[in-house]
Structure 1
C-alpha cells in the first residue's frame, strides 16, 4: 500500500507543469553597443542582439539603460536600478544618439540582418548606400528599379529597392525604401526619411531621441 501511495505521488508530480525559477539579472556596465551583466552569479558581456547561455537576450542598449528579453518578456535595466526584479513590458523602444564633433548623429544599424554604420540625415528622402556597401550587404540590385538622382556632382544613375528590415537598438521597421548610388558616394550610409518618418524623433539637450511607434 505504501508503494502504491509513492507511485501515485510520483505520477501526480509528473503531471504538474515544470517549475520556472526566475533568473537573477543585474546590469553592471555599458560599453557602447554592449553591456555587462551578472546572470545568476556569472558575468556575461553581450552585444546588442546576442543571447547569453542562460537565455537572456540583449535587445538594445543606450548610454542610460539596457533592454533585455527573458522568457519572451522585456525588461529595462538602468545603472541606477540594475536588478530585474520584475519583468514588466517596456512601453516603447527608444534610442538616444549623441552628436559627434561636427554635430552629426551616427549609430549602428542592422539592415536585412547585417551590420552597417549609418548617419542620420533628415535631408535624404530614403536610406542611401554607395554601391560597395550595397554589395557587402548582399542586396540584389538585379531586382532594383533603375532611377536617376541629382547629387552635388550632377545627375547620376541609381537604384531603388525595398529593405526587408532596418533595426536600430530595439527599433525595427520593415519594408523600408532605399537608394543605391552607383559609385562610392555617400561614404557613410545615410539614414533618411524612409526610416525616420516611421519613428518618433525628438531633440533634447543635444541628444537625438528615436522612439518606436505603437
Structure 2
C-alpha cells in the first residue's frame, strides 16, 4: 500500500506538471511577458518564475522557455506551450515605456519596421525614407494636407497590402507617407487600431483581432 501510494502520487504530480499552461503575451527586448496557469509574469532572460518556468531567450519575434524540463519556442501568433491549443482570437500585449508610449515591431507588406501606437493618428503614418526602404509605390497617390507639430504639410495617401503585429494581420490598411523625415518612427494609427479591440490593464495595452 505504501509503495502504491507514492506511485500514485508521482503520477498525479507528473500529470499536473504536463498540464501547465504557458502563453506568450508580450516581447520587450530581453524580457517577455508570460501567462503561466492564468498568472502573468514578466521575466528577463535567465530568470525563472515561481511556477518553475524559465525564460532562456527573448527576441523581437519569439521567446524560448523551459517548461517541465523541455525547451519550447513561443511566438505571439502561436503562444501556447504544453497544450499546443490555439487562442480563440489573436492577441498582442504591449508594455508602455517610461514615457507611456507603446512600441513594437510590425511587418508592413512583409518587411519589418519599428512602430509606435498613436491613437491620435487617423491613419498609419510613415516618413519618406522608410517608405523608400519598404519600396512603397507612390505613383498616382493622392496628395493630402496633414497637420504635424511643425505645422501643415502634405503627404501621400496610400493603401498598404498588409500590416502584421504578432498574430494579428490586416489587409488593405490606409496609410500616409510624409514627404520628409517625419515621423521618426512609423505611427500605428486608427486605420489599423480602429479595426481591433483595445484595452489597457495596469500599463499593458492589449490588442485583439476581431472575429
1:77-128, Cα deviation, whole Å (9 max, x unpaired): 2xxxx42x4x433201111111111110001000000000000000000000
Residue of structure 1 equivalent to 2:58: 31
In the alignment, is residue 163 of structure 1 matched against residue 160 of structure 2? yes
Unaligned runs of 5+ residues in structure 2 are: 1-21, 23-52
Residue of structure 2 equivalent to 1:17: none
In the alignment, is residue 191 of structure 1 matched against residue 185 of structure 2? no
Residue of structure 2 equivalent to 1:51: none
Residue of structure 1 equivalent to 2:204: 207
In the superposition, the TM-score normalised over structure 2's length comes to 0.67
| Aligned pairs, number | 157
CA RMSD, 1 decimal: 2.4
Cα distance in 2 for partners of 1:162, 1:123 equals: 19
Q: 1:75-94 maps to which residues of 2 (within 5 A)?
A: 76-77=79-80, 82-83=81-82, 85=83, 87-94=84-91
For residue 152 of structure 1, report the CA deviation from its aligned partner. 2.1
Q: 1:172-191 maps to which residues of 2 (within 5 A)?
A: 172-191=169-188
Unaligned runs of 5+ residues in structure 1 are: 1-25, 47-57, 62-66, 69-75
Cα distance in 2 for partners of 1:209, 1:42 equals: 29
In the alignment, is residue 119 of structure 1 matched against residue 116 of structure 2? yes
